[in-house]
Amino acid sequence: MNTYYLVRHGQTVWNTLGKTQGHGNSPLTELGERQASELAEALKNYPIDMIYCSDLGRAVQTAEIVGSKLNIKVEPTNLLREMGFGIWEGMPMKKIEKMYPDTFRMWREEPDKAHIPKGEALSMVKDRTEELIKMLNDKYDNRHILLVSHSVTVRVMLLDFLESHVRNLYRIKQDNTALNIVEYRNYGPVIMKMNDTRHLKTDKNRGANEKVSALE
């Protein structure tokens, strides 16, 4: 049975500006790069065999920082992408709330029912991440696999492992470079660690996570 290490990417420029990212992209900040490096140091304590990451730049950048320190090749995949936020991408949350009040309210109150113009639904994120985990479980056994992804995607995966509905999205928090560990056993996945940021060495690094965009 495989063990999965789920990680959100480091802080990005758009995170600091409160802009919605989704399938759009923004590079890591200097702090985000430092967070990724500190994560990599922590992951040296685990027997990581392989690294898969979202094919979006901020996740690839984070994964490559880790991969370079662990001497492991990074495998990008679109199955780990963030939820697509359609026409909201690149927009600050306050502007979204003003321009699309009804949809924004639905996203906050019943996220599983929100229909963002030209965007994805949470169920679509769930379907593609389930496809990835099934593929990896069919292909490998007793491997330690790092998955570098995004806030919404990681939370959807954790809810899925718990057999909890995606409507509970906001009941899980995911900080930049937070570490989650999930062990597959005969009776199913077991979450061993969630949203662990103890590898971030300074209060400044940890505190920055409180300021990032909830729309990732």
Active site residues: 9, 82
For 163, residues 6+ apart whose C-beta sits below 8 A from its C-beta are: none
Tokens in use for 188? 């199913």
Tokens in use for 31? 């702090």
Asked whether the beta carbons of 89 and 116 are under 8 A apart, the reply is no
Taking CA atoms, 194 is separated from 2, 92, 157, in Å, by: 17, 28, 12
Q: Point out the annotated binding site for substrate.
A: 8-15, 58
Residue type, 104: F
- Strands of 50-54's sheet in order across: 74-77, 50-54, 144-149, 3-8, 179-185, 188-196
Q: Radius of gyration (Cα) for the chain, nearest Å? A: 16
> Could you please report the per-residue DSSP string of 17-38?
HTB--TTS--PBPHHHHHHHHH
Cα–Cα dist 27/50, whole Å = 23
Taking CA atoms, 138 is separated from 60, 133, 134, 142, in Å, by: 24, 8, 6, 11
